[in-house]
């Protein structure tokens, strides 16, 4: 989101830069274009120069031939009026210009035009030199007087206008920036969701609906691919189950067959053990892919974890846990009645994966302890064993290594961590936190913290009297 504001601001800055460049360009163009006019005004034929030149080259009695020639070549005319208002001499005087003037006439034309000829005057002690320029060659402003206060206010006025314009521009900018942000926000957040591999459904109306449509299409493709992948895994795992049942069943029968030789029994035992590994893998793989692609609906109920742990432990012991493994369940009294909303089958599966992990890592036997307690207002479920554990480096690797389902590195070992990945996924689906502790030869311990537990107080009962 911030990225987008920055993007807009950056573009605004370059836009301001462009406006400044344009202003400079305009001024340059203006200066260049009017350079001629300005130089003409201040050049040798400008009224001021002409007046000076002619005044120097003439007197009340006449004008020199050279000055007369200059006037004629520039299509100008001139006359000299004496104190009484009549012409002493004229040069190139148009017919319509009179030769006698009253004081009023002089007062009017001296600031402006004489019969539409722009005229300029030069006064000396004997009279007035008048030079006329061709019609429409100069514009004279006849009413250029302003109150001095107004003139003084002009810079302030211009500054005010500029500030006002800038304010309007900034308002328009921030308004459109907010508008763009508002319209693009759902699109950007849905792209972020999409980048996590989750599907989205974006509904945006207006100009951006086309983008929203494209994003929805991408999301559909991703979720179709995810579904196809999960279904594919599910199909393979389904089809492998019946044949595997027979492999496991018959291998097991051979192991228990009185007539089979010990060598054959041993071989059958290997088949049996390995097929159980395939069984675990198939079961984990299917559930992992379903959780990964969010295709496993959680059947959440309020579950007493103490009861779940006991029931799991009893099932495991009753199903014939070998004697060299011992399984203890420690439930602290305060956690006995703690309830969490969870999918009991998935939580049992997670606990089972951890216990099976301990069993498989310690083929010579170990003590496995399932415990439940309350620490820092969280329900803590611990699965630990006193077996061989793993080294610090291995533990670090286990924590940091991306799982093969999330990694594109094809060297990753499939056998490792699928069961643990499933545990992690199940716990994350229940908003729990998982922490692994282990040292070589000091056992393996998995702590699972649940935040949303409901710690029911044990009730007092006198029912034993009944």
Partner 1 sequence: MEQSFLHTKKILLVDDEQELRKLVIDILSDDGFLNIIDAGTVQIGLSLVRQEKPDLAILDVMLPDGDGFSLMKKLRTFTNIPIIFLTAKDETADKLAGLGLGADDYIVKPFLPQELLLRVYAVLRRCYKSDSPLLELEGCTIDFSRAEVNKNGIIVSLTAKEYTLLETLSHSEGRIVSIDALCEALWGDNPFGYENSLNAHIRRIREKIETNPSKPVSLITIKGLGYKLNARK
Question: Do the Cβ atoms of 395 and 438 come closer than 8 Å?
Answer: yes
Name the minimum Å distance from CB 436 to partner 1: 24
Of 1 and 317, which CB lies nearer to partner 1 in the complex structure? 317
Which is nearest to 131 in space by CA: 109, 155, 157? 109
In angstroms, the CA 429 to CA 449 distance is 13
Contact 300, 341 (CB under 8 A): yes
Report if residue 323 touches partner 1, rule: CB under 8 A. no
Among 275, 357, 382, 384, binds partner 1 (CB under 8 A): 275
Residue 300 contacts partner 1 per CB under 8 A? no
Nearer to partner 1, 227 or 311 (CB): 311
Measure CA 295 to chain center. Answer: 29
Among 345, 360, 394, 451, binds partner 1 (CB under 8 A): 345
Distance in Å, CB of 313 to partner 1, minimum = 6
The reply to whether 314 sits near partner 1 by the rule CB under 8 A is yes
First to last CA, the chain: 67
Q: Phi and psi for 93 in degrees, rounded to 5?
A: -75, 125
Restricted to residues 136-165, the positions that interact with partner 1 (CB under 8 A) are none
Q: Does 311 bind partner 1 (CB under 8 A)?
A: yes
Cβ proximity to partner 1: between 140 and 238 the closer is: 238
378-385 vs 366-375, strand pairing mode: antiparallel
Whether residue 91 contacts residue 57, with contact meaning beta carbons closer than 8 Å, is answered with: no
Q: Are 427 and 412 in contact (CB under 8 A)?
A: no
Least distance to partner 1 from the beta carbon of 180, Å? 45
Interface with partner 1 by CB under 8 A: which range of 26-34, 46-54, 336-344, 386-394?
336-344
Token pair for residue 336? 């006995």
Q: Is 356 in the site for partner 1 (CB under 8 A)?
A: no
Minimum Å gap between C-beta 229 and partner 1 is 16
Cα distances from 18 to residues 26, 181, 218, 345, 447, in angstroms, run 12, 24, 38, 66, 62
Binding of residue 276 to partner 1 (CB under 8 A) = yes
Q: Per CB under 8 A, does 318 bind partner 1?
A: yes
Q: Exposed, middle or buried, 182 (CB in 10 Å: 0-12/13-18/19+)? A: exposed
List Cα–Cα distances, 408 to 402, 403, 418, in angstroms.
Answer: 9, 9, 16
Give the SS3 label for residue 56: helix
Residue range at the interface with partner 1 (CB under 8 A); choices 212-220, 311-319, 389-397, 422-430: 311-319
Q: Which stretch binds partner 1 (CB under 8 A): 3-11, 125-133, 171-179, 231-239?
A: 231-239
* Helices 47-56 and 65-73, axial angle in degrees (round to 10): 160
Q: Which is nearer to partner 1, 215 or 230 (CB)?
A: 230
Looking at the Cβ atoms of 97 and 426, the one nearer to partner 1 is: 426
**Contact flag: residue 466 with partner 1 (CB under 8 A):** yes
Residue 329 interacts with partner 1 (CB under 8 A): yes or no: yes
Does 248 sit near partner 1 (CB under 8 A)? Answer: yes
Which residues between 187 and 216 bind partner 1 (CB under 8 A)?
none
Residues 88, 78: Cα–Cα separation, whole Å: 11
Which span sits near partner 1 by CB under 8 A: 8-16, 302-310, 391-399, 415-423? 302-310
Q: Judge whether 57 and 124 are in contact, CB under 8 Å.
A: no
CB of 464 to partner 1, least distance (A): 3
User: Which is closer to partner 1, CB of 169 or CB of 329?
Assistant: 329
* Closer of 205 and 242 to partner 1 (Cβ): 242
Token code pair at residue 151: 């003139």
| Spatial separation of the C-alpha atoms in residues 367 and 75, rounded to whole Å | 123
User: Is 322 a residue that touches partner 1 (CB under 8 A)?
Assistant: no
> Using CA atoms, how far apart are residues 125 and 215, in angstroms rounded to an integer?
91
Q: How far is the CB of 447 from partner 1 (least distance, A)?
A: 19
What letter does residue 457 receive in the DSSP assignment?
A: P
Site for partner 1 contains 297 (CB under 8 A): yes
Nearer to partner 1, 131 or 327 (CB): 327
- Helix residue spans in 256-304 (DSSP H): 262-292
Report which DSSP code applies to 132.
E
Residue 246 is a binding residue for partner 1 (CB under 8 A): yes
Contact positions toward partner 1, by CB under 8 A?
A: 237-239, 241-242, 244-250, 252-253, 275-276, 279, 282-283, 286-287, 296-297, 299, 304, 307, 310-311, 313-314, 317-320, 328-331, 336-337, 343, 345, 456, 458-461, 463-464, 466
């Amino acid at each position: 989101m911030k990225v987008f504001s920055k993007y807009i601001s950056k573009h605004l800055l370059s836009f301001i830069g462009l406006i400044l460049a344009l202003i400079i360009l305009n001024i340059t163009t203006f200066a260049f274009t009017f350079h001629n006019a300005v130089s003409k005004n201040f050049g040798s034929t400008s009224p001021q120069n002409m007046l000076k030149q002619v005044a120097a080259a003439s007197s009340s009695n006449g004008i020199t031939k050279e000055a007369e020639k200059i006037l004629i070549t520039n299509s100008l005319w001139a006359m000299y009026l004496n104190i009484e208002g009549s012409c002493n001499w004229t040069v190139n005087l148009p017919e319509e210009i009179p030769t006698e003037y009253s004081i009023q006439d002089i007062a009017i034309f001296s600031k402006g035009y004489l019969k539409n000829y722009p005229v300029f005057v030069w006064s000396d002690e004997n009279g007035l030199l008048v030079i006329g320029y061709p019609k429409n060659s100069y514009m004279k402003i006849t009413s250029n007087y302003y109150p001095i206060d107004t003139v003084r206010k002009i810079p302030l006025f211009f500054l005010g206008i500029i500030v006002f314009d800038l304010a309007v521009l900034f308002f328009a900018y921030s308004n459109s920036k907010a508008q763009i942000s508002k319209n693009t926000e759902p699109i950007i957040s849905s792209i972020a969701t999409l980048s996590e591999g989750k599907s989205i459904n974006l509904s945006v109306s207006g100009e951006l609906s086309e983008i929203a449509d494209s994003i929805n299409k991408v999301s559909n493709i991703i979720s179709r691919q995810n579904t196809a992948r999960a279904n594919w895994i599910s199909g393979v795992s389904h089809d492998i189950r019946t044949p595997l049942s027979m492999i496991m069943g018959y291998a097991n029968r051979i192991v228990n067959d009185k007539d089979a030789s010990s060598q054959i029994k041993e071989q059958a035992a290997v088949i049996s053990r390995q097929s159980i590994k395939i069984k675990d893998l198939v079961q984990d793989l299917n559930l992992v892919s379903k959780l990964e692609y969010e295709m496993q609906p959680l059947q959440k109920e309020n579950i007493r974890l103490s009861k779940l742990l006991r029931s799991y432990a009893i099932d495991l012991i009753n199903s014939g846990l070998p004697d060299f493994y011992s399984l203890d369940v420690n439930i602290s009294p305060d956690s006995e009645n703690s309830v969490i909303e969870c999918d009991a089958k998935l939580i049992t599966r997670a606990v089972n994966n951890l216990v099976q992990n301990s069993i498989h890592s310690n083929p010579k036997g170990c003590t496995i302890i399932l415990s439940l307690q309350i620490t820092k207002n969280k329900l803590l479920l611990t699965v630990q064993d006193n077996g061989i554990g793993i080294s610090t480096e291995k533990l670090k690797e286990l924590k940091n290594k991306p799982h093969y389902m999330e990694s594109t590195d094809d060297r990753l070992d499939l056998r490792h961590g699928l069961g643990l990945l499933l545990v992690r996924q199940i716990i994350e689906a229940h908003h729990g936190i998982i922490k692994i502790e282990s040292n070589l030869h000091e056992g393996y311990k998995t702590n699972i913290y649940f935040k949303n537990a409901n710690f029911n107080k044990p009730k007092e009962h006198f029912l034993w009297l009944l």
